[in-house]
Structure 1
Amino acid sequence: MNADLRPAAGLARRRFLTLTGAATAVAFGANLPGSASAYRGGGRLDADPFTLGVASGDPLPDAVVIWTRLAPRPFEPLGGAPYRPVEVEWQVADDERFRRVVRAGRAQARPEYSHSVHVDVRGLRPGRHYWYRFKAGGYLSPTGRTRTAPAAGQRVDRLTIAMGSCQSWPDGYYTAHRHLAAEDVDAVVFLGDYLYEYGIAAAGGLRAVTDPVPSQFRTEADTLDRYRLQYALYKSDPDLQAAHAAAPWIVTWDDHEVQDNYAGEVSKSNAPVLDFLVRRANAYRAYWEHMPLRAPAPRGPNYMLYRRLTFGRLAEINVLDTRQYRSDQASGDGWRADSDARRDPGRSLAGAQQERWLLDGLTGSHATWNLLANQVIMSRMDLDPTPADLYNMDAWDGYAAQQRRLLDGLAAQRHRNPVVLTGDVHAAYAMDMKTDFADPGSTSFGVELVATSISSGGNGTDVSATGRAFLAANPHLKLVDERRGYTVLRLTEGEMRVDYRAVPYIDRTGAPVATVASFVVEAGNPGLNPVGQEATR
């Protein structure tokens, strides 16, 4: 198999040995990677099971989730592991050589969860880096680095967060993730479309593999096994593994984790509801299996994904779910003129319960910065620069009544510095949020920052004709850049600096990264202030 498809076990193992050196044999016994001792429950692991890397997520002041999945042959059913529970040992240390192990234990990798492991490590100290690793059947995993959140109520000097979205595997290489892994961030917020459900051609798309992509990837994902297979391919990428191993991730989904532009119980093809809910249950289960999320796993077609994470008194992150509870799109899911259906007060994008949870949480927040990790554009976005209007029915604009209530709620909390983080559109946008988007002179009450895609859309360009039309029709929009990359936020009590980072190509490896635009937002004074451009790395 071509190296582009083969899980990077060798690379991961070399990285692990570089980090830990000879301390591995002392800490975990004499069995180093490459051995194949028996595991409890019978049977043997006959190859390195850590081909999909490690990850951590959802940091609390005293806890973090650490994750892995045992998959010695990831493109086989159950990742090539036998249908038996496997005991996995784990360690967390406050040094990268594991000389000071602070927590350790055993977990069961169970076949009904595709041998995934989610350990909610408790009793950690707030605002600290930790290193973690796993062992199963004599094999050692790569080492991951994570960080706990600061203590509740603690004053925090600074917080650095990266945000990204949309990483279609056949659309190109994950070079952006390789650079993101080197940014030394406190957390990564991933805003959806972690994978795409589509079948993958033998040629591998822009990755242009020399060995064909295996035939089991031709069909669209809709069963549990097929979604698991898609995750195995995506997570075998060494650059994605590096980004996961570098910092804790805070994740939410959009549509492609299930099906393009699905809405609640309504599929894109208007399949029978019960049939689609079976597919949604499969997709949600596979998503949880492959993300560093806390237990319990989804049961059936529902999963409570929205949640709130606090970073001392500096920041709070409200993680939204705008897919599971939404009404069907008005007039289809494309760009449409204004209509009564778009403004129907009975239609909802986030559901009434999530709306109340979000607005109540903002009212009660004591954080300087209040971030909303959100999938689709929340601000008004008109595609037509003439007096006519064209709105995206799959974004908040397609749900105008709830959009207005939420924007009014954010405007009422202007002093809490609301910042909306968005993905979905495969372009970097920066915009001021206005009390009246039709009036450029109206009050700004927050900012919306849209991260471009990691790979979806291919190489991209700086600004296309569509991007220029957006700029002409939306004076609150301060940036459009359609290259691939990610965004870095640096928060202090006084300001937030935003750096949009992009690579010039992804159809081959080795692209450099550059800051293509930067802005500063002053605390208590909502609005984007452009700053100078930085050098390429």
Structure 2
Amino acid sequence: MTSQDAISRRSAVTAVAASAALLPLAGLSLAHAATDGPAFLHGVASGDPLPDGVLLWTRVTPSPDAVPGSGRGPAVEVTWEVSEAEDFATVVAHGRVKATVDADHTVKADVRGLRPGTAYSYRFAAGDAVSPVGRTRTAPAHNTSDGNVRFGVVSCANWEAGFFSAYRHLAARRDVDAVLHLGDYLYEYPAGTYPAAKYGVRRHSPAREIVTLADYRVRHGNHHTDADLRALHAAHPVIAIWDDHEFANDAWSGGAENHTPGTEGEWAARVAAAKQAYFEWMPVRPSTAGTTYRRLHFGSLAELHLLDLRSFRSQQVTAGSGSVDDPDRTITGRAQLDWLKAGLATSSARWKLVGTSVMISPFAFGALPAQLLKPLAELVGLPNEGIAPIVDQWDGYTDDRRELLGHLRERSIDNTVFLTGDIHMAWANDVPAKAATYPLSPSVATEFVVTSVTSDNVDDLLHVAPHTLSLAGVTAIKAANRHVKWLDMDSHGYGVVDVTAERTQMDYFTISDKTDPNATTSWARSYRTQSGTQRLERADQPVR
């Protein structure tokens, strides 16, 4: 049992069960919205599972005026408890923490003393109010090598662009050990701009572009009013890293494409505000404050290296510029790259998983049809002429990539798998030592890229039916990039990556319509890499 005096952060079930899981959340909000006492209106969450513990999170609304970002509301004591039984017949850990205005009335409990590889239920209470019950799971014991570990994988959830149905379908699965969120959990844009208002399904709150601490808190809080997002957090521990839109588009260490100091203040102040709100509202341990790079272990089967590719990077250069090869430019920063290299070299895990917010595989456009250049360039941040490389991804920082991939090859580090988001498309790639001579030159790793939850991709930008105009683009890109085994430029959805001693497999799932709150899901494609091969092959069916 752990006393909390110092707070630091398997098969699918039916849709009916998923809907039932949402009822307590919706009912609680309605029941408490008009009362004067404390209420839990933003759900519960857990994250960063360890073999002996997990981080728990919630936000309490102590009074009706204490809405996110308001700076109002009294401090309130919040208790928490953890049980292996859904009815809490036996409580194995409990504690208390105070929710204050300084942290926007969010609270965290870093619970330790739990059993490895075990499912737990947890809940919070304040006054007469009791939170929804969440479910979480600890990581396997360090010496565990049998069985499997399975993660849901998501990225790029733009509130205005669609509904979070992908989250609902992942929440309904009971075969997921945790969900990996690879960034762009929210977007900073003002309402009606991305996408244009006539294509959006709902509006941001606040309606303006978020810049201040209060703005970021309101935007985070608004996301937690979404029942699908709350269901995801209540169903599984979430392991999150950020990308650029948690701050501003194409962020780098000293600024962003979507930041104007003259009207929006100093970049450092905006970053500090965004990071404070992020660590308040996300189930990430405060011990990582200032960055999200960290390492989690899942027995001796898998080690997960999570990167922060915004806080330390050099400014992006002009696409097509030779400056992309400048050794003085970095996407990781020296300290983080050394940390990653050392971790990969010394890891005793069978599989080295690397959570990276932007694609590491090289990518050249090739001869694309003219009508595809503009939307594809918009997605990847290029001028409309479509000049390679993609300067916001590792293609814009080739010296860091050369050093990292060279390290994998020179040290004979096998079974490295990059898990990636950002680009609003699904990819399955070998990661070649030298793309120009692949497949004669070796592949040193593999990469699975998941598409967006809702953020616009090619068919959305062209306003055409999916898998029509984009098919020519897919053909051209694969012809110019022989290490790309599969590419879907139009779908939205999520991935499920399953790791065993013999192989790692990514199952790609799509949703039927991001503008339909009741969208269905279906399996699209699967790829796997067999242990020791550093290459992908197609799998005939998803892992059961």
Instruction: Give TM-score, length-normalised by structure 2.
Output: 0.84
Residue 468 (structure 1) shift: 3.6
1:412 aligns with 2:410: yes
1:97 aligns with 2:106: no
- Residue 509 of structure 1, aligned match among 512, 517, 522: 517
1:174 aligns with 2:156: no
Residue equivalent to 2:115: 125
Residue 534 (structure 1) shift: 6.1
SS for the counterpart of 1:170 is helix
Residue 271 (structure 1) shift: 2.7
Q: Kindly tell me: are residues 206 and 245 of structure 1, through their superposed partners in 2, closer, same or farther at Cα, counting changes over 3 Å?
A: farther
Q: Kindly tell me: are residues 99 and 261 of structure 1, through their superposed partners in 2, closer, same or farther at Cα, counting changes over 3 Å?
A: same
Residue equivalent to 1:266: 255
Residue equivalent to 1:65: 55
Task: Tell me if structure 1 keeps the 8 A contact 2:66–2:73.
Answer: no
1:403 aligns with 2:412: no
1:342 aligns with 2:324: yes
Residue equivalent to 2:24: 15
Q: Kindly tell me: are residues 491 and 296 of structure 1, through their superposed partners in 2, closer, same or farther at Cα, counting changes over 3 Å?
A: closer
Instruction: Give TM-score, length-normalised by structure 1.
Output: 0.85
Matches within 5 A, 1:411-490: 411-441=409-439, 442-457=441-456, 461-462=466-467, 464=470, 465-481=472-488, 482-490=490-498
Task: Tell me if structure 1 keeps the 8 A contact 2:83–2:122.
Answer: yes
1:160 aligns with 2:139: no
Task: Tell me if structure 2 keeps the 8 A contact 1:71–1:80.
Answer: no
SS for the counterpart of 1:230 is helix
Gap runs ≥5 in structure 1: 1-9, 19-30, 37-43
- Residue 196 of structure 1, aligned match among 187, 195, 218: 187
Task: Tell me if structure 1 keeps the 8 A contact 2:35–2:64.
Answer: no
Task: Tell me if structure 1 keeps the 8 A contact 2:82–2:92.
Answer: yes
Matches within 5 A, 1:75-154: 77-78=67-68, 82-154=72-144
Residue 313 of structure 2 aligns to which amino acid in structure 1?
A: R
Task: Tell me if structure 2 keeps the 8 A contact 1:385–1:472.
Answer: no
Count of aligned positions? 494
Q: Kindly tell me: are residues 74 and 261 of structure 1, through their superposed partners in 2, closer, same or farther at Cα, counting changes over 3 Å?
A: farther
CA–CA distance in structure 2, aligned partners of residues 74 and 372 of structure 1? 42
SS for the counterpart of 2:82 is strand
Q: Deviations over 1:131-160 (max 9, x none)?
A: 111111211111111111112222231101
Residue equivalent to 1:493: 501
Residue 71 (structure 1) shift: 3.5
CA–CA distance in structure 1, aligned partners of residues 502 and 197 of structure 2? 47
Q: Kindly tell me: are residues 509 and 14 of structure 1, through their superposed partners in 2, closer, same or farther at Cα, counting changes over 3 Å?
A: closer
Q: Compare 464-473 and 362-371 and name the one that shifted more.
A: 464-473
Residue 520 of structure 2 aligns to which amino acid in structure 1?
A: P
Residue equivalent to 2:528: 520
Residue 514 of structure 1 aligns to which amino acid in structure 2?
A: S
CA–CA distance in structure 2, aligned partners of residues 498 and 93 of structure 1? 32
CA–CA distance in structure 2, aligned partners of residues 17 and 96 of structure 1? 19
1:220 aligns with 2:219: no
SS for the counterpart of 2:142 is coil
SS for the counterpart of 1:304 is coil
Residue 438 of structure 1 aligns to which amino acid in structure 2?
A: A
RMSD between superposed Cα atoms in Å: 3.0
Residue 455 of structure 1 aligns to which amino acid in structure 2?
A: T
Q: Compare 451-460 and 250-259 and name the one that shifted more.
A: 451-460
